[in-house]
Structures are given as C-alpha cells and as structure tokens.
Amino acid sequence: MQHKRTITQRIATGVLAVAMLLSTLAPTFGPVVYADDVSSIVTDGGGISTGTPEATSAPEPSAIPEPSAAPEASAAPTATPETSAAPEETPAPTAAPEESERPEGSATPEESAVPEGSPTPESSATPEPSSTPTATPETSATPEPSATPEPTATPAPLELIAPESDLLEASVGDELTLTVELNREDVEVAYQWQKMYTGKPEAFDTALADYAEDEPTWYSWPLEDKSEAEALAENPDATWQGMELYFAIVAALDKIEADSSNVRIAWKTPNYALDGFAITAESNEDGIILYADKENERHIGTLQDGEWTFGDAVEASQPEATWQDIDGATDPAYTLTVTEEDYDTSYRCVVTILDDEYKEFCAKLLEEQGITLTEEEKAEEQVLYSATMKIVAPAMDEVDFGIAPLAASAAGNPKLSSDAQWITGLTNGYEYITKDTYDRVTGWLNEGKITQKQANRYWTYLGPNGFSDRIAANVLDSNGFPIGGEDNTRIYSGFDLTDGDKLEVLSEWYGKTVYFRPVENGQKWTSTGTAIDIPAYTNLTIDDDGHYVESASGTKYKKAITMLNAFVPDTGSVYKNYLGVTAPNGWILHSADDNIHIQLYTVNCENFNRDPARYLVDAEGNYRMDSFAWGVCTDQEPDISGKAYWELKNYIAQGYGLMVGHDTLYAYAGAYYDAFGTDLDESSIDPNDTTTRYYALNSWVPNTGHWYMNELMGANGGNVNSGSVLASDAPSLILSTGGSHGQYGKNIQYGTEELHILQTGWDAATAAANVKYRTPTNFPYSFSVGQTFGAAWTHTNQQAAFGTIWVDYSGTNKGAAEYGYYEDPYTWTIGGKTGTNNFYLSGISNFLMNQVGHLPTNSATTDESKLFTNSVLYISQRKQCEICAANQGGQENSHFVRRISSANADEVLTALQNGGSYWYPLDGCYMLVEDITLPANWTPIKNFTGHWNADVYKVDLNGAASVFDTSGSDWNLGTDKSKGVETVFDKDMKRTTGVARVVGDLNDLFGTSTSYAGYTVKVLGSDNPKYMKSGEQYTCSVNSDNKYVISNLPCVYDGTNGNLKVRVYDPAGKEITDYGPIIVKVSTTFWESTETIPLQLLSFSASPVKDVTTYESFGAKLLEGRVYWTSAVTDVQWQVQRSGGGKWENIQ
C-alpha cells in the first residue's frame, strides 16, 4: 500500500536578512548606496559546477605592481581564460545505516528513533523587503511635512526559501513530493530537477581499501612522484582509493604473462573490480587490451600515455554518474515513488535565471561596488542550486545484535599500554565511561532524577561495526544532564579499533579513571568492569639539589591520533590517500618515531553538516577526535552548515585542532563583504541549520560562498584593500583578497610545482629530544630551512596569510603561463602586519591551512605527504589546565591550556597585552613549559580573568613591574598581595582569575615512591590566623601524577616571616603527620613574577644564643635566641650557664 506524503522543501539559497538590513541602512546611506547595503545569501544548496571556471578579465594594466607593494585597482592585468577541462563530478552521499543500541537488558536502553530534523526558526525566514527613503533635504531649508518624499521600495535579491530538512524519511512504496519555493514571483526562471545515483555494488565487502559511507571508489593514485609499483615495493601494505582495480588489472596481465610491473590507471576511472565486473586481458596485433565485463555490459581499456584508460563505452554508461536531468521534471514540484535505489540517490533542483532585467539589477549591485562585468561574463548562465536532498529509510526502533558482540567481548582484557597511548585488549563488544561521569550519573539515578535507561546511555559503546554504527545516546544540557525525557536521543558513531584491539586514549581522559566493560544482557549498573587510571602527564623532575627543573605539564606528546576528515563528494578524502601510501594501517613509516599512529575517520561533508556531533562527541558528551580536517575542494565548493559552525567553534575553543584544505576558505567567492559589501552577522547563523550550501562557480549574482567557514577561521567584514578589517580579525590571520570578481579577479591565485621551507623553529635533533620544540616542518619528518622540493601543482585562491608561514612556493607562478595570472606574489601591509598570497602551509596554535590536493588529479609528492603527516601531528596535541582540574575549593572543570615557551612567548604575551585575541583570550588558561623573559618595556597585562600557571619555571621580569596589572576592573585578586582568593570559578563555574602559587609532588615532599592520587592538600585560615581569616580554606586534590596545584594564596613570605602551615589528608580524610609539620613559603615577589613554590617539611630547631650585648646601663645584658616553628610555642624555658661552665639552671 502506498502512502501519500507531500514534503514542502523550503530550500535556503539566499539572502536571509536582506530586507531587514536594507531598512536599517537605508536612512543613513540613501538609495544611491544600495550595493553597500546588501547583506544576504542568495544561493543555497547542492550546486556542482560541470565546467572549469573561466578567468575573470580585468582592465589592461598601466604597470605591474611590485610584489611588496599593495596593488592599485587599475594595475590588474587582463586575465587569460583557463583552458583545462573540469573534472568529472562525484556522487553525493548514500543513505546512512540504521541507528542501534546495545542488546536488551536492565543496563541497556532500547533504541529510539532518530529525531526528525528541527524546524528552521522563524528568525531565519526571509523578511519582507523594506523600503528605502529618498535623500533628505538640505538642513538649511526646512520643508513642509507634506514635502517629505515617499519611501521607494527596494527589490530583494532572488532566493529559495530555507528547508526544514534536506534529509527525508520514507519507506519503499511511499509517494514523495519534493518542492522548491522562491521568494519572488516576478523573476522569470526555469526549473530542472536532477538526480545522481551513488549506489555501491553488492560485492563492496571485498574492498581492499577502507571506504567511508558515501565515499567515492573511483581510481585516485595520490603520489605524483612515485608509481604504484614503487610505493608497494617500499610499503606492501599501502592502500589508496580504487586499489581493487589496480590489483585486478595486475592479475589479468599476469594471467596472460604480460608486463604488469608498472601498471598506471587514469584518474577517476570507475572501480570496475569493486563494481562486480570481471577484469580480463587479451593480447592481439594491436597490443594488450583490457575488458571489464558484467552480464551484457563490456568496457574496453587501452593504454593511453602510459595509463590504462577505458574509452567511450565507459563514458556512455558511467557507473559513477554525474548529476543527470530528470526527463519532464521542469516544475517547482517533483513527485516520485520511493524504490530501494532511491536510498542511494541524491536529488536537487537547478533554477536558471532567465530574466534579463533581474540580471541587469544584479550587475548594477556589482558596479556600485566598483566591479564591472565583461560582456562575456554577463552572457554566462546564472543558476541557483537547491540543497541536495537525500531519502533515508525510517530508523528502526530496535536492532538485535544477537550474541556476536557478546562472544567477542569475552576475549577482551583491557589495560593501558606501556607508553600510555592506548587502551589495549579490547573488542568492539566493549563500552566505556569515565569515573567522574559514572559517579555523577549514579547520584542522579539514586535521587530518581533520571531513569535506568537514561543512565545506561552514558556508557559509550564501541559498536560491532565500528565507526559506521549509529548508536543512541541522551541529549545533554551544558551540565551533562539528559533533557527531553527518556525517548529524546541523539546518535553517535562507533569506534574502529587499531590492529583489532587498540583504542586511542582520549585527551579528555588525562588524569582520570575510565571504566571498560563488555556489553552484556542484564548488565548491572554497579558492574563497572575494569578500571584504568590514565596519567595526567604532569610529572616533575628535580636536580641534584632537590630543585624542580622540568615538568611534563603541557608537554605530553600524543602519538595515537584520531582525526575526522569531512570530504567533499566530488573529491573524496585525499588525506586518507596520502596516509594510505606512507602509513600502512595508520602507522607512520621511516620517521623520527615509528610508534606514531593516525586513525583517520572520514565522512561525507553533507552528512557531517547534518549532524556534526554524531562524529565528534561520545555518549557522555566528551569530544573524541584530536583534530578535524575540512576538504579539500577542487570543483564543488561547499560551506559548513550553521549547526557545524557552532559545534566546531566550541570544539576549537576546547583546544582541539582544525585543518582546512585547498579552496575551503574564501576561494572564488571571497569574503561575505566581497559579495554584499557588508559583514556577516554571526547571530544570524542558525544552530539548527543543517544545509550544505554550494557556491556556483563563475556566478556573479548574489550567491553563497564559504561564509560560515570564513566566519569561523577568517574575516567576513572586508578584504586586503577594504580598510574595514585587520589581520587579527581572522583567527587564522588569513584575509580575503577580494573574490574572483573583485579587484584582482582570479589573477591573484599563486602557486608553483616547487615548495620552499621557510622556517622549522628548531632542528630535527632538538625536536626529537624535546616535544615542545616540534613544529609542522621538523617532526616526525624533518626538513631544513631553505630546502626546496617538487610538488604537485597547487595554489592559493583569494587568500593572504598574515601569520606564521611554514612553507611557501618557489619559482614563478605557474598560473602566469597557463592563464595569464600575475607572475610574482603580492604583499599587503595592514595594521603593521604584512601578508602575502605566497603560502602553502600557514597557521598558528591549533590551526593550519594546507594547500595540498589541487587538480588535475588531487595528487601530491612524497614530501608533500610527509608535510601533511607533520601537520596532523602538530595540530592534534592538547593539554588540560591543571588549575581547572585541581578541585580547588570543591570546584573542578576541564579546559584546554595554552602552552607558553620561548617559541611563542612574544606572540602570546603581546596578544594578552592588547586585550586578548581569538587564540589567546584574557579568560583563557595558560601554562609555562620553560623559563621566559618578559620583553623590554613590558606593560603589564590588564583585566586578566583566566588561569595562569608558571609551573616550576622562572619568569624574568626584565625590569618590568609585574606580569599582570592588578588595577583592572576584571582582575579578581584585588591589589593587596597579602590577601588571597579561595576560588578560581564563580558560582556558575565561569573562570575567574587564578594564578598558581604552590606546585609540587608529594613523593618529593615525603621522600617516598607511592601513589598519592586523591589526597587533599589544605592551607587553613585557622592554622594561619596572622595571614588569613579563620574561615579561609585553600584546598586542592592531588592528581594521578602525585602533583598538587593551589592558586591565589596570599603572598606573604618576606624571607624571614610568612610561613604558612599546610595539612595533607588521605582519601579517607586522615591527616598525614608521619613526616612532621608541613609549611609553604609563598614569597611576596610571586605577586609580581607569578612564580610558584613547593611544600616543604619543617624540622624543629633553635639558633645558638648570640654573643653578649652590653647596653649603656652597667650590668644590663640581653641574651637573644630564635625558635623556628610555624605555630605558637607555649612551653618555653630559658636557662643559664655561669662563667667557667657548670650546670645549666632554669631562669625563674
């Protein structure tokens, strides 16, 4: 029985706030400044260009600018059109597998259906166009009220209405209507519905490579400087996309005893071997011929320019289809009856603008911004693409895994690896939870605040099918509490185990205990399985004199890395290809450390945009990926969704790494300003928006671009010549050069086939010996400053880097010869910082932009693959703040700490001096990892509200008054160094100023070698009445490395007085008194220098009586002595010994 179902698709492709903005700006600027008033997004959804963009023409130059000079608009030379053919397009994603939960039992929740997509808020709807008033009369003449002109209505740019969801649930046999709706009826347009089938053959389970859901399988060899045979000779375990076809051809040639020693295959050849075709070879008078046969279908392969290429027949029945027009589907609505094939098919609507009057209106918008289109550009077809629509089967209420995961779990024996990088002895039948979460959830469960099913869902299940599993978890609030009731669930993906039994240690686990248990029917909540303590990586090292000289704090190097790559459908994950040939099964080869492993998870960018938390967050709400990579783009240019924007912004703020690839930032569309003359309002980004918007290449009508990625890592408010942005406005320190229809056109692209190492920071030996000196160019693969090497051709695209550039291009711009682009790189100076379009690898902190992976084949050289590997390791290092985690005053949280060394001290301290930046905010957490010296003429940091831990390192003030200015209104410690503050968070757990004063290791204090994890250190006002109020308490918990950190104590020790008594308690609350009294001397100078001191044991002693002192009064003598003790001495008896010796006698 068919079920009639009509889904109105409100496809967002346009100007979400144009009318509101126009009504706001019009009274100020007047109607003649229209172009600067437009703030909108016009194109929404899955645009895929089928041709290579033509170069933008520009006026003939009067002179070519020097590379170091900011070019004038009139100096742009005429561009030569690009001539290379565009790549074939790649399929959109297939439907996701069904959602699942653990087996039924008292401890395993039943599965809930995936919630329907959240409706787009009313605020995202397109407002009605507002009117723009005419010019205001001169102030010298006051017109009559009746003389005021009537407002003139300003037409809104054409747009498609935003969709409620682009992921549609339907069963086989359902009738489904897809609809697009425009915001205007007065613009002439044509509609054409398209579809793209991306289904995989039944034989996909024989794959040799690891393909993610919706990932293309066509042939893509990643190395430009090395053949498949050469790479396999070095690394027999190499993997790459489409490798099944390679081995099938080799086998076919071997069977007829033909030469198979150097098989090469044309890029994007369909993977016939994986598609179920029989690959055979035949030798005839014309040479060797290959056949791919399945049923009555045959494709013939011949050698062309040294590569096996399947000719016209392949193109005529291309399995990896591009977008195909649907015959007769030329209305705003398209109705279909769902079949099984539709679950592997994507749909979209192409809206072609036919209205010449409207296109002229759009051209005038550009003219008012100083951009004049050529007649050739005006003649180009202008289209809007709808969102790509996917049909998925309804989620099942229950999935019975049977006994397979239970049987597998029985073989497990979880434990921490010797290098503390892995949990070993696991199977995919296990689940985990941190002890912190388990204890909180147990409390809620016992108090009746949550159900058993909700409690069970806090365990993160590894999943029988690994990353492809869809497992239900609670929807959590900001405090980790489930919201919306028992049936309100979200989805997360399972985990792939390395070598079948290893799971990477999450950085969120540092210093915590994690429980691992097999999933079993009827599992009791109190059965927590195996408890594994994860080191905090804060160990301290002492010298021969007993002084701390080094700390592991902030210098732990994570070698078991997880990275998530959201790939673009027409390109696939080129990153996985690069790693596949240089790192078999993820293990890095022939580097400074062969124990490094990168687990690269891949996901179609459209699926990521729909539900980013599914891939980034585990069941208890912790981030599970060390880093995230977006791209690369080669033809299709998608943006991140609103939902992905907010998730990634929080992810980066927690110290996790981000890498953006070629053409993913600005690119042809430039900044939002370049399209609309104004900035993008971040508050307009809808956190429920899951749409993937594609930029339509060569489009000059108001369109979509990389607006949200620009907002995340770039600056939408201007370009290098607008005067409206600084480099510091972009977190990446990368600005737009104006977009492909801006001042420079496409001519500003810059790139070559040779790379140049600009800087390494330190040499390879130093980097190998000490983790804090590792950079993207010195570890684990080492390069040297000035080194050049070959690269696959790639380039910058509308990007100028003002920050750290690690690698740039060597030689003349290849685009100059190919397309008439500028020969030399450009530079711009803005706000005292100089930027350039000549960069290959640039970034600071935990961000990098890497240009690897350009057309025509998305390949790279071996050295480029090594640079990519270094880049992943560089951005994937994360460390938690010890002040946040110290449980001081009963307050504990987890935040990322920014590590300060001589390498970045100037950058960090300057940012804090200037009021903070994106990467270095005033409310951030900071830790020294080596001694530092303040710059000359230092101005103390004002209004610091974050956490600062000098750890065991020295701070040379270099003549400055202090590190921090204590007079600022936001400084939370006051101006009196003798007064302390007990907390480092406010009542809402928002960070307040916290400066570490006491740091050390209890084993060093007591001269022992044991575990003091969970012990408590207390400095009480009742013990130190001279320096504190009676009720004051400064407390901290000792971490798993036996380290204690106490902040904000009063700085009162003056070299003689000011000893503070300290108490230490075991986890049961018993005070440790076996080693004698404990004190700490927090120097008054620490107020200025921020340095720290460890606890020390006090030995009772008395100094000898000083020599006799004679006063003016004859016979008046005073005997002086001193007792060293930290509390009042009540039993004192002075004695005297007469001249000539004898017995000591009490003095009454």
> Given 994, 1018, 1052, which residue is the final one in a domain?
1052
Q: Are residues 756 and 852 in the same domain?
A: yes
Determine the Cα–Cα distance for residues 31 and 136; give it in Å rounded to an integer.
11
Q: Identify the CA nearest to 980 among candidates 1084, 892, 1126, 1089.
A: 1084
- Token pair in block for residue 175: 């009738």
Those residues with Cβ within 8 angstroms of residue 148's Cβ, 6 or more apart along the chain or in another chain: none
b vs e for 585-599, b when ≥16 Cβ sit within 10 Å of the residue's Cβ? ebbbeebbeeebbbb
Task: Tell me the mean pLDDT in the region 88-101.
Answer: 43
- Token pair in block for residue 29: 């600027």
Query: How many domains are contained in the chain?
Result: 5
- Token pair in block for residue 535: 């080191």
pLDDT of residue 1014: 87
pLDDT: which is higher, 1119 or 872: 872
- At residue 75, does pLDDT exceed 50? no
Task: Report yes or no on 1123 lying in a domain.
Answer: no
pLDDT tens, residue by residue, 670-683? 999 999 999 999 99
Q: How confident is the model at residue 137 (pLDDT cuts 50, 70, 90)?
A: very low
Task: Tell me the mean pLDDT in the region 299-305.
Answer: 91
pLDDT of residue 45: 34
* Torsion angles phi and psi, residue 531, rounded to 5: -95, 125
Q: Are residues 589 and 502 in the same domain?
A: no
Determine the Cα–Cα distance for residues 613 and 1013; give it in Å rounded to an integer.
33
Q: How confident is the model at residue 114 (pLDDT cuts 50, 70, 90)?
A: very low
Give the whole-number percent of the chain exceeding pLDDT 90: 53
pLDDT of residue 628: 97
pLDDT of residue 678: 93
pLDDT tens, residue by residue, 706-727? 999 999 999 999 999 999 999 9
* Torsion angles phi and psi, residue 24, rounded to 5: -75, -45
Q: What is the 3-state secondary structure (H, E, C) of 653-673?
A: HCCCEEEECCCCCCHHHCCHH
Q: Are residues 770 and 893 in the same domain?
A: no
Q: Are residues 210 and 232 in the same domain?
A: yes
Q: Do strands 941-942 and 964-965 pair parallel, antiparallel, or not at all (unpaired)?
A: parallel
- At residue 64, does pLDDT exceed 70? no
pLDDT of residue 1130: 54
Q: Are residues 505 and 604 in the same domain?
A: no
pLDDT of residue 380: 87
Task: Tell me the mean pLDDT in the region 538-549.
Answer: 80
Task: Tell me the mean pLDDT in the region 868-883.
Answer: 92
pLDDT: which is higher, 659 or 31: 659
Domain of residue 960 covers 882-1052
Task: Report yes or no on 1105 lying in a domain.
Answer: no
Task: Report yes or no on 229 lying in a domain.
Answer: yes
Q: Are residues 795 and 894 in the same domain?
A: no
Q: Identify the CA nearest to 458 among candidates 485, 481, 478.
A: 481
Q: How confident is the model at residue 106 (pLDDT cuts 50, 70, 90)?
A: very low
Task: Report yes or no on 1074 lying in a domain.
Answer: no
Contact 131, 26 (CB under 8 A): yes
pLDDT tens, residue by residue, 923-943? 999 999 889 999 999 999 999
- At residue 1081, does pLDDT exceed 60? yes
Task: Tell me the mean pLDDT in the region 568-589.
Answer: 88
Determine the Cα–Cα distance for residues 1061 and 902; give it in Å rounded to an integer.
35
Q: Which of 365-379, 734-748, 1013-1027, 1113-1127 has the lowest mean pLDDT?
A: 1113-1127
Q: Are residues 155 and 244 in the same domain?
A: no
Task: Report yes or no on 132 lying in a domain.
Answer: yes
Q: Are residues 838 and 969 in the same domain?
A: no
Contact 421, 505 (CB under 8 A): yes
Determine the Cα–Cα distance for residues 318 and 192; give it in Å rounded to an integer.
21
pLDDT tens, residue by residue, 964-992? 999 878 898 999 999 999 999 998 888 99
pLDDT tens, residue by residue, 608-667? 999 999 999 999 999 999 999 999 988 889 999 999 999 999 899 888 999 999 999 999
pLDDT of residue 1106: 52
Task: Tell me the mean pLDDT in the region 60-87.
Answer: 36
Determine the Cα–Cα distance for residues 795 and 82; give it in Å rounded to an integer.
14
Contact 592, 782 (CB under 8 A): yes
Q: How many C-beta atoms surround the C-beta of residue 222 within 10 A? A: 29
Determine the Cα–Cα distance for residues 77 and 878; give it in Å rounded to an integer.
46
- At residue 493, does pLDDT exceed 50? yes
**Average pLDDT in the chain:** 81
Task: Tell me the mean pLDDT in the region 1072-1089.
Answer: 95
> Given 551, 575, 602, which residue is the final one in a domain?
551
Determine the Cα–Cα distance for residues 987 and 115; give it in Å rounded to an integer.
34
- Hey, which residues does 1060 pair with through a beta bridge? 1080
> Given 1030, 1052, 1074, which residue is the final one in a domain?
1052
Q: How confident is the model at residue 832 (pLDDT cuts 50, 70, 90)?
A: confident
Give the whole-number percent of the chain exceeding pLDDT 70: 80
- At residue 67, does pLDDT exceed 50? no
Task: Report yes or no on 415 lying in a domain.
Answer: yes
Q: Which of 243-252, 1018-1027, 1137-1146 has the lowest mean pLDDT?
A: 1137-1146
Q: How confident is the model at residue 1145 (pLDDT cuts 50, 70, 90)?
A: confident
Contact 612, 603 (CB under 8 A): no
- Identify the residue whose tokens are 């375990």: 237
Task: Tell me the mean pLDDT in the region 801-824.
Answer: 93
- Token pair in block for residue 183: 């915001």
Task: Tell me the mean pLDDT in the region 600-604.
Answer: 95
Q: Are residues 1007 and 963 in the same domain?
A: yes
Type and span of the H or E element at 867: helix 862-875
- Hey, which residues does 3 pair with through a beta bridge? none
Q: Are residues 426 and 343 in the same domain?
A: no
Task: Tell me the mean pLDDT in the region 375-397.
Answer: 81
Task: Tell me the mean pLDDT in the region 1042-1060.
Answer: 95
pLDDT: which is higher, 539 or 317: 539
Determine the Cα–Cα distance for residues 818 and 753; give it in Å rounded to an integer.
13
pLDDT: which is higher, 79 or 245: 245
pLDDT of residue 1104: 54
Those residues with Cβ within 8 angstroms of residue 316's Cβ, 6 or more apart along the chain or in another chain: none
Cβ-based burial of 563 (10 A; exposed 0-12, middle 13-18, buried ≥19): buried
Task: Report yes or no on 533 lying in a domain.
Answer: yes
Q: Are residues 836 and 890 in the same domain?
A: no
- Hey, which residues does 1065 pair with through a beta bridge? 1016, 1071
Q: Are residues 906 and 1011 in the same domain?
A: yes
pLDDT: which is higher, 429 or 117: 429
pLDDT of residue 907: 86
- At residue 669, does pLDDT exceed 70? yes
pLDDT of residue 762: 84
Q: How confident is the model at residue 322 (pLDDT cuts 50, 70, 90)?
A: low
Task: Tell me the mean pLDDT in the region 459-473.
Answer: 94
- At residue 869, does pLDDT exceed 90? yes
Q: How confident is the model at residue 165 (pLDDT cuts 50, 70, 90)?
A: confident
Those residues with Cβ within 8 angstroms of residue 1136's Cβ, 6 or more apart along the chain or in another chain: 1144, 1145, 1147
- At residue 18, does pLDDT exceed 60? no
Q: Give the ranges where 173-212 is alpha helix by DSSP (H).
A: none
pLDDT of residue 1131: 60
pLDDT of residue 798: 95
Task: Tell me the mean pLDDT in the region 834-847.
Answer: 92
Task: Tell me the mean pLDDT in the region 842-850.
Answer: 89
pLDDT of residue 285: 80
Task: Report yes or no on 27 lying in a domain.
Answer: yes
- At residue 341, does pLDDT exceed 90? no
pLDDT of residue 1132: 65
pLDDT of residue 790: 94
